[in-house]
């Protein structure tokens, strides 16, 4: 917690006599993110913390999960997507154990990481400012793997095999039949120079196993209990 002070004066008038007293009280502000908390509290463990991303007081203060160890720590989890009950609106929502935070709830940051469960940098982390909206194919550099990736999130078309280097289809998918037209709204990150199936999640799919599409390889053959997670610091 960050502490400052605020002063206020109380004036009283009685039978023509006036008096005024000034009081100074501590004002406690919550950190804006896990990184700010870790800077103020070195060695803080991973876990749930109350944060205030806009720094203006308790209006949007809420509980966030912090990874305080992975690649320097200080990571704030902003997306937690499970196959069993995904959030289809990346711009804010909760569904069972899944959630995606709206822009106003995301702490100020310069880096983004893509992970699994409580491991922020399971895939990699990047100098990249996360957005909740559409993401056209963008090249980003991963510090963990020391190589480049493409990131993309589209709402009206899809890439073959969740690879932004492959064919861009002008539809939302045709197979499997139960999922025809439901592949849009995916989020994918894939290393450049091939189709690696690094990290991809398709929240709108009907077939449960197709939602967690890729995580260090294809994950469409079985139902997964892990959560696809996004983090910032």
Question: Which phi and psi angles does 58 have, rounded to 5°?
Answer: -80, 0
Structure-block tokens of residue 1: 């917690």
pLDDT in the model for residue 55: 80
The range of the structural domain enclosing residue 76 comes to 2-232
Distance CA 194, CA 162 (A): 11
pLDDT in the model for residue 187: 99
Q: How far, CA to CA in Å, does 58 sit from each of 32, 51, 77, 91, 175?
A: 11, 9, 19, 21, 46
- For residues 210 and 21, the model is more confident at 210
Q: Which residue, 209, 162, 212, is CA-closest to 184?
A: 162
Mean pLDDT of the chain: 91
pLDDT in the model for residue 61: 83
| Whether 201 contacts 228, CB under 8 Å | yes
Distance CA 82, CA 103 (A): 20
Decide: pTM greater than 0.85. yes
The answer to whether residue 28 scores a pLDDT higher than 70 is no
Tally the domains of the chain: 1
pLDDT in the model for residue 20: 72
Q: Which residues sit opposite 191 in a β-bridge?
A: 149
pLDDT in tens, 86-96: 999 999 999 99
| Among the ranges given (47-51, 52-56, 139-143, 223-227), the one the predictor scored with the smallest mean pLDDT | 52-56
pLDDT in the model for residue 115: 99
Structure-block tokens of residue 97: 């154990």
Q: Which residue, 111, 75, 105, is CA-closest to 91?
A: 105
Distance CA 97, CA 80 (A): 8
The answer to whether residue 15 scores a pLDDT higher than 70 is no
**Residue 162, SS3 per DSSP:** helix
The answer to whether residue 9 scores a pLDDT higher than 70 is no
pLDDT in tens, 153-206: 999 999 999 999 999 999 999 888 999 999 999 999 999 999 999 999 999 999
The answer to whether residue 72 scores a pLDDT higher than 90 is yes
pLDDT in the model for residue 2: 46
Sequence-separated contacts (24+) of 89-97 with Cβ below 8 Å = 90/132, 90/133, 90/153, 90/185, 90/187, 90/203, 91/132, 91/133, 92/132, 97/227
pLDDT in tens, 120-153: 999 999 999 999 999 999 999 999 999 999 999 9
Q: Assign residue 148 a region (left: φ > 0; alpha: ψ between -120 and 50; beta: otherwise).
A: beta
């Amino acid at each position: 917690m960050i502490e400052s002070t605020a002063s206020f004066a109380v004036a009283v008038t009685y039978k023509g006599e006036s008096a005024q007293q000034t009081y100074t009280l501590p004002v406690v502000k919550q950190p804006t993110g896990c990184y700010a908390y870790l800077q103020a509290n070195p060695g803080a463990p991973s876990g749930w913390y109350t944060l205030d991303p806009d720094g203006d007081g308790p209006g949007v203060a809420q509980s966030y999960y912090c990874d305080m160890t992975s690649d320097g720590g200080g990571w704030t989890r902003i997306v937690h997507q499970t196959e069993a009950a995904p959030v289809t609106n990346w711009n804010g929502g909760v569904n069972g154990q899944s959630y995606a935070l709206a822009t106003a709830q995301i702490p100020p940051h310069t880096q983004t990481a893509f992970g699994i469960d409580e491991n922020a940098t399971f895939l990699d982390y990047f100098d990249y400012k996360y957005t909740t909206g559409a993401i056209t194919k963008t090249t980003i550099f991963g510090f963990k793997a020391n190589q480049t990736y493409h990131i993309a999130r589209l709402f009206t078309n899809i890439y073959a095999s969740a690879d932004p280097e492959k064919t861009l289809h002008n539809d939302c998918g045709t197979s499997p039949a139960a999922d025809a037209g439901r592949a849009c709204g995916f989020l994918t990150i894939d290393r450049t120079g091939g189709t690696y199936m690094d990290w991809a999640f398709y929240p709108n799919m009907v077939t449960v196993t197709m939602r967690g599409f890729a995580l260090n390889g294809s994950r469409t053959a079985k139902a997964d209990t892990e959560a696809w997670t996004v983090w910032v610091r």
